[in-house]
Amino acid sequence: MDFDRADAINQAIRLLSLRHRARAAALLAPLGLHPGQETLLLELARTGPRIQAQLSEALGCEPPSVTLMTRKLEASGHVRRRPAPSDKRASIVELTDSGAALAERVKELWCALAEETVTGLPEQTVADLPGVLGTLTANVDTRRPRDDARRARQDRGSDG
């Protein structure tokens, strides 16, 4: 790939990420939420109570970030923590009634943000976006071990 094409791709992804996060922050602020907290609420709404380590893995963020988000949401009455029966060092996080209600409001906001984001795109492109973006994310995911076997196969294919 030449530099101009690479630069165009990287700049587009960077700008989309920055502007989407800023727009999400503006929409979340009236709900008293900061970016990231909504994903924790939505994960708990989707899965039910989770151990903080599970939340960290599901959200793709470091455990201290989940701890901080959980503390803030607990202080505002949206989640509660309790010791895990199997490991007293671990905490189980669950939504309170106000957290469940807030998660429903976040779902509405998330739908509006997604619709705003894809305005003007053909329906098939919108349908393909989660898969395309998932592939892009997997390609740059530093948390996963690199697939050396895949690379070796690609290298062999380009040699002959």
CATH number at residue 17: 1.10.10.10
Quote the pLDDT of residue 144: 63
Has residue 142 been placed in a domain? no
User: Does some domain include residue 87?
Assistant: yes
Pick 113 or 152 by higher pLDDT: 113
Asked if residue 72 belongs to a domain, the reply is yes
Q: What is the pLDDT of residues 89-148, one digit of tens each?
A: 888 999 999 999 999 999 999 999 999 999 999 999 999 999 999 999 899 887 666 554
What is the spatial distance between Cα 133 and Cα 29, in angstroms, rounded to a whole number?
26
Q: Please report whether residue 14 resides in a domain.
A: yes
**Residue 62 included in any domain:** yes
- The residue segments making up the domain with residue 76 are 3-120
Q: How far apart are CA 123 and CA 115, in angstroms?
A: 11
pLDDT for 42-87, tens place per residue? Answer: 999 999 999 998 999 999 889 999 999 999 999 999 999 999 888 8
Whether 98 is in a domain gets the answer: yes
Q: What are phi and psi of 86, to 5 degrees?
A: -80, -20
Q: How many domains does the chain have?
A: 1
SS3 49: coil
